[in-house]
Amino acid sequence: MNATVIIIFLVIVAMTLVITYYAAKKTNSASDFYTAGGGLTGWQNGMAIAGDYLSAASFLGIAGSIALFGFDGFLFSIGYLVAYLVVLFVVAEPLRNLGKYTLADMINARFNAKKVRGAAALSSITIVIFYMIAQLVGAGALIQLLFGIDYLWAVLLVGIMMTIYVLFGGMTATSWVQIIKAVLLMLGTVVLSFLVLKNFNFNIMEMFTQMKTATPHGEAYLKPGVKYEIPLDTISLMLALVLGTAGLPHILMRFFTVRDAKTARSSVMWATWIVGIFYVMTIFLGFGAAAFVGADLITSTNPAGNMAAPLLAQALGGDILMSFISAVAFATILAVVAGLVLSGASAFAHDIYGQIIKKGEATERQQMLAARYASVGVAAFSILLAIFAQSLNVAFLVSLAFCIAASANLPVIVYTIFWKKFNTAGAVSAILTGLISALVLVSVSPSVLSPEAGAAILTGTPLFPLTNPAIVSIPLGFIGGFVGTLVSREIDEKKFAEVKVRANTGGFKQL
């Protein structure tokens, strides 16, 4: 622990607290709390989406995965980036036109049923918790490395800080923390990439040539199969990453923070460029860590490789650069956890409490109070689970959240917008089939059970061979929605027609 690290950390934390203080003054209604009053511009929301999306998994997890597994680690970058095409062309505009605060609002535009809203809220909260576990694991490893604080206390510290941001600042504070964090993260990544390329004489071909002998894997490092030996596992992972983004509640919620569908599209375009440039640079971070830090030091510091980027910064730029990169990584985790807590809290307070328990008659004050209590509950449960996931790579943990989002949320979004026969029974069965199948398969997969002690959460023989079950659970989600619809035979074509017009135009028209 040195003075530089402490000063940079305190500056960034103080900056976020100041933003929260001023945002709290402007958070006077439920709309302000959930969606910043719908007042963000395209570039602002695009930066905030990028800040939300470029999480600990992106900065810490992918750098570590590429450093340790080469091409197989870069699969995460490819999947996360391509996923934005699905968001841009399939869900961004219809969601903005149909929704109000949450994913359940969007679905409820067509199905005014409590069970649909409850199922959607349950799915959203589950995804948020999985995603938060990854961020808290990254935070714990980072604080442990820098300050020598025990992992447990590090996780508690981050969870408490971000709960405070959400409790008082809501979406306005969260958005501006994410915008500032996105700028800092891009700056840090550009500096690291420059230093890595400098050490390879600014010759990318030379970099790839040297990497063939820079790791124990040899030439296999640049080919698939180092980590994912089963080709089906690779396909399953890519399905989860590419389709999962379109079902992530904290990303979808961002389309409600702008005034119209045109601004929502603009947001996604801004986010796609920022995210795309970042993920290209993860190659330099991973290769640099493998070449100039080494797998032995990376794994001895953190077995999952989550500290590859800060260690690379120390190797190439000394303590000052390491302090800056670590502070940026910490800000990354703070911003993303804030967005996640807000998303989970809104699913509970707005959908379960406001619409189901209070039957839509809750006052704005009651909703905001419920959201703040829910923020504490979501954070506490995630912290508890994160304590047991210390040995897992954060990029991998996030891929499980993507799997659940693609399995439970994406089928119901696609069916709601594009299938006129889709009904309430189909919506509930799609969400629950996707959610339950993903959770069950993950719980009996090598991600949770491993014969090698410490390699997974529990010691045991896995019953399902794939580390990510998306290739099975995503089709099951679509099949569940299809079968549920046909079995029920309940059809409201007029409602579908209204929803279709509204999804395409932003308002109801005379049909």
Residue 491, pLDDT > 80, answer no
Q: Are 20 and 170 in contact, with CB atoms under 8 Å apart?
A: no
Residue 404 structure tokens: 């659940």
CA distance 496 to 5: 56
Half-sphere CA count of 422, side-chain side, radius 13 A: 29
pLDDT digits (tens, 9 = 90+) for 442-472: 889 887 888 877 667 778 888 999 989 999 9
Residue 505 structure tokens: 């135009």
Which residue type sits at 452? Answer: E
* Total-model pTM: 0.81
Residue 361 structure tokens: 């008659």
CA distance 497 to 389: 46
Which residue type sits at 31? Answer: S
Whose CA is closest to 65, among 308, 402, 400, 322?
A: 308
For the chain, the average pLDDT equals 81
Dihedrals φ, ψ of 449, to 5°? -110, 125
pLDDT band at 212 (very low <50, low <70, confident <90, very high): very high
Residue 510, pLDDT > 50, answer no
- Sequence length of the chain is 511
Residues 6+ apart with CB under 8 A from 317: 191, 192, 195
Rounded to whole angstroms, the maximal C-alpha distance in the chain is 68
Domain ranges of the chain: 3-505
Residue 473, pLDDT > 80, answer yes
Q: Above pLDDT 90, what percent of the chain?
A: 27
- Of the two residues 59 and 66, the one the predictor is more confident about is 66
Confidence (pLDDT) at 104: 73
Q: Say which range, 103-117, 124-138, 162-176, 345-359, has the weakest mean pLDDT.
A: 162-176
Residues 6+ apart with CB under 8 A from 134: 55, 56, 57, 61, 394, 395, 397, 398, 401
Q: Say which range, 61-70, 250-259, 424-433, 490-499, has the weakest mean pLDDT.
A: 490-499
DSSP 217: T
State mean pLDDT over 316-320: 87
Helix axes 62-69, 308-346, angle to 10 degrees: 140
Residue 167, pLDDT > 70, answer no
State mean pLDDT over 212-216: 91
Homologous superfamily of domain range 3-505: Sodium/glucose cotransporter (1.20.1730.10)
Residues 6+ apart with CB under 8 A from 475: none
Q: Say which range, 207-216, 332-341, 372-381, has the weakest mean pLDDT.
A: 332-341
Ordered DSSP codes for 365-394: HHHHHHHHHHHHHHHHHHHHHHTT-TTS-H
pLDDT band at 175 (very low <50, low <70, confident <90, very high): confident
Confidence (pLDDT) at 420: 83
Burial class (CB in 10 A: 0-12, 13-18, 19+), 236: buried
Cβ-count burial 161-175 (b if 16+ within 10 Å, e if not): bbbbbbbbbbbbbbb
State mean pLDDT over 34-45: 66
pLDDT band at 507 (very low <50, low <70, confident <90, very high): very low
pLDDT digits (tens, 9 = 90+) for 220-270: 999 998 988 888 999 999 999 999 988 887 777 766 667 776 777 788 788
Q: Are 421 and 488 in contact, with CB atoms under 8 Å apart?
A: no
- What is the chain's Cα-based Rg? 22
Which residue type sits at 423? Answer: N
Whose CA is closest to 332, among 114, 149, 134?
A: 134
Whose CA is closest to 326, among 132, 66, 144?
A: 144
State mean pLDDT over 191-201: 95
SS3 459: strand
Q: Say which range, 94-103, 178-187, 496-505, has the weakest mean pLDDT.
A: 496-505
pLDDT digits (tens, 9 = 90+) for 415-442: 988 888 888 899 999 999 999 999 999 8
Q: Are 366 and 358 in contact, with CB atoms under 8 Å apart?
A: yes
Residue 36, pLDDT > 60, answer no
Q: Are 335 and 175 in contact, with CB atoms under 8 Å apart?
A: no
Between the CA of residue 177 and those of 23, 81, 117, 498, what are the distances in Å?
Answer: 10, 22, 30, 37
pLDDT band at 302 (very low <50, low <70, confident <90, very high): confident
Residue 350 structure tokens: 């707005």
- Of the two residues 10 and 35, the one the predictor is more confident about is 10
Confidence (pLDDT) at 223: 92
The beta-carbon contacts of 81-84 under 8 Å, at least 24 apart in sequence, are: 81/275, 81/276, 81/279, 82/241, 82/242, 83/241, 83/242, 83/243, 83/244, 83/245, 83/246, 84/245, 84/268, 84/271, 84/272, 84/275, 84/276
Confidence (pLDDT) at 27: 58
State mean pLDDT over 279-285: 94
The beta-carbon contacts of 315-322 under 8 Å, at least 24 apart in sequence, are: 316/192, 316/195, 316/196, 316/199, 316/288, 316/292, 317/191, 317/192, 317/195, 319/2, 319/4, 319/5, 320/4, 321/191, 321/192, 321/195, 322/5
Between the CA of residue 356 and those of 69, 100, 117, 433, what are the distances in Å?
Answer: 47, 16, 8, 22
CA distance 266 to 464: 41
Q: Are 273 and 55 in contact, with CB atoms under 8 Å apart?
A: no
Residue 24, pLDDT > 70, answer no
Half-sphere CA count of 316, side-chain side, radius 13 A: 30
Confidence (pLDDT) at 511: 26
Confidence (pLDDT) at 375: 81
Residue 161, pLDDT > 70, answer yes
Confidence (pLDDT) at 397: 80
**Where do runs of H (alpha helix) occur along 387-461?**
394-404, 410-418, 424-443
Residue 33, pLDDT > 60, answer no
